[in-house]
């Protein structure tokens, strides 16, 4: 059924895509709403349909440590987590990026405790946004599928790990019509992963990774990571274009690996958001000719120049930043990044969807209608 439309649960679609990508090692610990992905991968392995080692772990910290170790020996690896699971593995998450290991992980976004809540928002992702991982956000399950393929290409080219973020339940448990890329197309795009000699642990060619570093060397290491991190923006765009060619699709204008702009050539207002809420925004504003929609696909590294250029191109005077996360005591994360671009527009921050709170089309329309009367910070 590869390369044919089929109705699949989002988690199932991701599991099938990961299997076609062909990791050597998978390790994860179940946590709602990520569990279906790794359950399906376990079943695929048990049925003899997956050519990978599936390693069970007793916690998310252990799962992250297992894929770290496997990647350090030159293997292609995969894991997935959510919410408190991500927080438990945070120490390892930072180690992975510092060791420059090309690990790909699905982050099924869910609210963090306390209070206990299993529904979707994006506060878990924001908790590790400075960990040195490239971060993709998907609007729908087809985009999530493609971002997983792209993630491996970018991770293995840059030696920087990648999170693919999907909204919990809204995408992970939603059934949509999707196309799973074939192993043939994926192999054509990715090729077989082979770590370079001297960059992984090998008893025949001993090397040291993660060594103790004095202050000057440590700062140089972080500078190099930051430099390569920012340089990955160009690679993300180029590889996105190459992937579209691989599956015989054309890149649309203002739709690339970094962002997608929907709307007229010139608009007065632009709405900026990430994830599945973009679908609601598009539906709510389909008849609004003077409002554009900017979907952020790549949140880290944040494509400041590219976003500045598109906002300038459409001539928006008002910017609405709608996000499912909050930075307690300060402006929210995406809003802060947008504000860093320039001060020419009126930019207002709207928080909604926390803990799974429904974001309705009427909410979007009211924000547009009452924009001038709102103040920062606005909980909708």
Sorted by where each begins, the domain ranges of the chain are 5-246, 259-379
How much of the chain, in percent, has pLDDT values that exceed 70?
A: 99
- Per-residue pLDDT tens digits for 140-199: 999 999 999 999 999 999 999 999 999 999 999 999 999 999 999 999 999 999 998 888
Could you say which residues of the chain have pLDDT below 50? none
* pTM score of the predicted model: 0.97
Neighbours of 208 (CB within 10 A): 7
Residue 91: the pLDDT is 98
Give the pLDDT score at 59. Answer: 98
In the predicted model, what is the mean pLDDT of the chain? 96
The reported pLDDT for the residue numbered 1 is 55
Q: What is the pLDDT of residue 2?
A: 62
Beta bridge partners of 154: none
CATH of domain 259-379: 3.40.50.920
Pull the structure tokens for residue 316.
Answer: 């928006």
Two domains, one topology: 5-246 and 259-379: yes
CA-wise closest residue to 364 among 375, 353, 377: 353
Closest CA to 228 of 126, 98, 81: 98
What is the C-alpha radius of gyration for the chain, rounded to an integer number of angstroms?
20
What topology is assigned to 5-246 in CATH?
Rossmann fold (3.40.50)
What confidence tens digit (pLDDT) does each residue in 257-276 have?
999 999 999 999 999 999 99
């Amino acid at each position: 059924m590869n390369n044919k439309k089929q109705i699949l649960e989002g988690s199932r679609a991701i599991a099938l895509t990961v299997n076609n990508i062909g990791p050597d090692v998978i390790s994860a610990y179940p946590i709602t709403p990520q569990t279906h992905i790794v359950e399906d991968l376990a079943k695929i392995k048990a049925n003899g349909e997956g050519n990978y080692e599936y390693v069970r772990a007793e916690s998310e910290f252990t799962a992250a440590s297992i894929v770290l170790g496997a990647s350090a020996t030159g293997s292609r690896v995969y894991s997935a987590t959510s919410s408190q699971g991500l927080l438990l593995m945070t120490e390892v998450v930072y180690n992975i990026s510092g060791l420059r290991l090309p690990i790909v992980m699905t982050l099924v976004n869910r609210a963090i405790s306390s209070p206990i809540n299993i529904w979707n928002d994006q506060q878990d992702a924001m908790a590790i946004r400075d960990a040195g991982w490239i971060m993709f956000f998907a609007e729908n399950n087809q985009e999530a599928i493609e971002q997983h393929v792209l993630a491996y290409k970018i991770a293995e080219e840059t030696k920087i790990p990648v999170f693919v973020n999907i909204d919990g339940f809204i995408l992970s448990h939603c059934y949509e019509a999707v196309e799973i890329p074939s192993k043939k197309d994926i192999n054509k795009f990715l090729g077989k992963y082979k770590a370079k000699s001297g960059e992984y642990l090998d008893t025949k060619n001993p090397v040291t990774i993660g060594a103790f570093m004095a202050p000057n060397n440590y700062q140089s290491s972080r500078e190099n990571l930051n430099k390569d991190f920012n340089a990955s923006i160009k690679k993300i765009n180029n590889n996105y274009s190459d992937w579209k060619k691989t599956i015989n699709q054309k890149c649309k204008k203002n739709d690339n690996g970094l962002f997608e702009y929907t709307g007229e050539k010139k608009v007065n207002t632009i709405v900026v958001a990430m994830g599945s809420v973009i679908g609601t925004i598009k539906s709510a504003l389909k008849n609004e000719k003077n409002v554009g929609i900017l979907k952020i696909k790549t949140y880290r590294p944040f494509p400041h120049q590219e976003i500045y250029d598109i906002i300038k191109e459409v001539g928006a005077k008002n910017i609405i930043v709608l996000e499912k996360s909050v930075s307690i005591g300060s402006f929210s994360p995406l809003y802060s990044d947008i504000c860093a671009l320039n001060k020419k527009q009126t930019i207002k921050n709207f928080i909604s969807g926390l803990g799974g709170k429904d974001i309705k089309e009427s909410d979007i329309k009211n924000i547009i209608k009452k924009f001038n009367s709102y103040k920062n910070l606005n909980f909708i």
